[in-house]
Amino acid sequence: MEIRTEDAVQIIDALGGTNAVARMCEITPPSVSDWKKTGIPKAWLKYLRLARPDVFIGSSPLPESEVVHA
């Protein structure tokens, strides 16, 4: 399951953009750029939520059952 592309763009921008997210995930910028068109894969979304919970406060692109609560 992936999130909507509109949400992916907002999340990537809030995290500092394509290059910043690529560095965080240790992947290539074109891969992150593709997420803007196809959505962020579920596993990477979970990673990003754990790495930068401040970006996700007040938003929940994952179903409640998938949200990690500290």
Distance (Å, rounded) from C-alpha 1 to C-alpha 22? 20
The tens digit of pLDDT for each residue in 39-66 reads: 999 999 999 999 999 998 865 555 444 4
Contact 56, 32 (CB under 8 A): no
- Non-local (6+) Cβ contacts of 9 within 8 A are 36
H or E stretch covering 20: helix 18-25
Place of tokens 């809030």: 14
What predicted TM-score, i.e. pTM, was given to this entire model? 0.76
